[in-house]
Amino acid sequence: MTKTANITIDGKTVDLPVKSGVIGPDVVDIGKLYAQTGAFTYDPGFMSTASCESAITYIDGDQGVLLYRGYPIEQLAEHGDFLETCYLLLEGDLPNAAQKADFDYRVTRHTMVHEQMARFHQGFRRDAHPMAVMVGCVGAMAAFYHDSTDINDPYQRMVASMRMIAKMPTLAAMAYKYTVGQPFVYPKNDLDYTSNFLRMCYAVPCEEYQVNPIISRALDRIFILHADHEQNASTSTVRLAGSSGANPFACIAAGIACLWGPAHGGANEAALAMLAEIGDVRNIPDFISRVKDKKDHTRLMGFGHRVYKNYDPRAKLMQQTCHQVLRELGVKDDPLLDVAMELERIALSDEYFIERKLYPNVDFYSGITLKAMGFPVSMFTVLFAVARTVGWISQWKEMIQDPAQKIGRPRQLYIGSPPRDYIPVSKRA
Ligand code: CMC
């Protein structure tokens, strides 16, 4: 049965089609509302607005469910690896053994970056934030890989996708090496994706670097947890940038810029800074009072989510991974972990957080985990960007292939001056 909604504006009623997805809330299609009534809808922050159709990721925020192409995140994190998750997001299904071997091979063969990229880095200050370096270098990829910027050519789109997934760890490791003043380490193709990344970050020319398989597996799982999250701010940025026909490297650079903000991917850095600022479990009550004080503007970083009004399923997995990594590295007492666990316990039993349905999100435990792995705080959001690249690319590709795709062009409610005449400067008061 076709559903419709109706709306009455100034006495005129129009019927609006209602569309149903496979699961999740219906959407009211308001595409023709302006033509029929002369009115726009108003929804700052997209609180009730679906911006596209998508078959990639599904979130049920009330139940704490996250599915990639229908598969629960818990199963992928437990049994899958990051590259097969990439294949799944990009192609729509898990690869069979031959497809997996071929995909892994192709990604691995794209890991090197143009040698001039190394010289491009020299233009940055040594103390540049690695996210600033990433925004610049990923945008610059359009200049180095011009032969994969024609968005209308499916082959070029595929090559750009492979390049981006494969080269992002190399660029991320270069951004890190540059800030610590160490030589760049070339990728090594006999290593898996995540081990290769760890080696590019931590190897030095004067000694062999042994990848710890437990740490590599833990980081691979962290990558899986961050790989996609439907129409979040950075993904919507990528789609909006791409809707004008911009090349994929420019679109992903735009996504990285958006991810950097503390309300989004920058929250992992901000959460660790917050735990360090609290410093001791005895300071938690004071901190919680500041968070609850409306005049203070302090937020509990790594808590709350626009969509999850129940425990973020990624946070549960991240907490397990955190304990596993600390155990493996022999970190017996991490004061930041003590603060985090006590903060979580107190917040989850506090009326302020219960009422607002605020739970830990993926960023609450990721900082502690990445810090234990040896990453400086400034690299946390870079690691998020490495993992999210496949999500951005998959969503961008889906958008380009969607026959309904149009340039993204929101409207506005104008609240400025009414029309007025120009006054020569000599006559202005
Ligand atoms: N600490 C304290 N209060 C909070 C928090 C928080 N982290 N988050 C929301 N609130 C309160 C907020 O003050 C408001 O209260 P009131 O109704 O009394 O004014 C209420 O909860 C609703 O908040 P909102 O800002 O309207 O909610 P939102 O959906 O617009 O914001 C959010 C979602 C993620 C931006 C927000 O929860 C937040 O700033 N969290 C901290 C930053 C963070 O951890 N971000 C990572 C998100 S997960 C990773 C990712 O996707 O990037």
363 catalytic? Reply is: yes
Whether 51 and 231 have beta carbons less than 8 Å apart is answered as yes
Q: What is the pLDDT of residue 223?
A: 98
114 catalytic? Reply is: no
Please give the DSSP secondary-structure letter assigned to residue 378.
G
Q: Which numbered atom of ligand 1 lies nearest the CA of 299?
A: 1
User: How do beta strands 65-68 and 71-72 pair?
Assistant: antiparallel
What is the C-alpha radius of gyration for the chain, rounded to an integer number of angstroms?
23
Kindly give the distance from the C-alpha atom of residue 172 to the centroid of ligand 1, in angstroms, as a whole number.
28
pLDDT average, residue stretch 325-332:
90
Kindly give the distance from the C-alpha atom of residue 130 to the centroid of ligand 1, in angstroms, as a whole number.
26
The preferred substitution site among 226, 229, 303 for testing ligand 1, maximizing ligand atoms within 8 Å of CB, is: 303
Distance CA(248)–CA(390), nearest Å, equals 12
Task: Please tell me the pTM assigned to this model.
Answer: 0.93
pLDDT average, residue stretch 173-191:
95
Q: What is the pLDDT of residue 413?
A: 97
pLDDT mean across residues, the chain: 95
Least confident interval from 163-172, 216-225, 331-340: 331-340
Helix intervals (H) in 349-428: 351-355, 363-372, 380-401
Distance CA(78)–CA(101), nearest Å, equals 20
Q: Which numbered atom of ligand 1 lies nearest the CA of 307?
A: 29
Whether 86 and 227 have beta carbons less than 8 Å apart is answered as yes
> Of 226, 264, 305, 312, which one is the catalytic site residue?
305
Kindly give the distance from the C-alpha atom of residue 329 to the centroid of ligand 1, in angstroms, as a whole number.
33
Q: Is the pLDDT of residue 208 over 90?
A: no
Q: Is the pLDDT of residue 1 over 80?
A: no
The preferred substitution site among 229, 256, 305 for testing ligand 1, maximizing ligand atoms within 8 Å of CB, is: 305
Distance CA(6)–CA(13), nearest Å, equals 7
Q: Which numbered atom of ligand 1 lies nearest the CA of 304?
A: 37
Residues 227-242 pLDDT 10s: 999 999 999 999 999 9
Please give the DSSP secondary-structure letter assigned to residue 417.
P
Q: Which two tokens stand for residue 350?
A: 């506090």
